[in-house]
Amino acid sequence: MSEKPCPFCGSKEVLEHSYKEDNQDWHSVYCSNCGANFQTNKMEYSVEKWNTRPTPDLAEAVDVIDSVVLEMRGSRRLSPAQRKAEDFLRRVKE
């Protein structure tokens, strides 16, 4: 399976490891740089969870879009992408 870089330090030195403990199979994905790890009894689930990233906080995303839209308003003509961002911001704030 393919692992994403470490969500904590960004290292690409991510390894998979399987072992048996108390008659139970365990599988882990871990970062050899900072030691972050995730382990379960199924390798596919360990990799899936390792690769899952939290979605950004909506309030933070709205703040970022708001800043960009404010900067864009200084230009004479808005591009389609800029109009789309401004429309999205207006809908989210309603």
Q: Residues 6 or more apart from 92 whose CB is under 8 A from it? A: 58, 62, 65
- Predicted confidence (pLDDT) per residue in 29-68, tens digit: 888 988 888 888 887 888 888 888 766 666 677 777 777 7
Q: Which pTM value belongs to this model?
A: 0.49
Extents of the domains making up the chain: 14-51, 58-93
Closest CA to 85 of 77, 75, 70, 76: 70
pLDDT score of 72: 67
**Which percentage of the chain shows pLDDT scores above 70?**
82
Closest CA to 25 of 52, 1, 43: 43
- Predicted confidence (pLDDT) per residue in 38-49, tens digit: 888 887 888 888
In this structure, are residues 18 and 43 in contact, taking their beta carbons and an 8 Å threshold?
Answer: yes
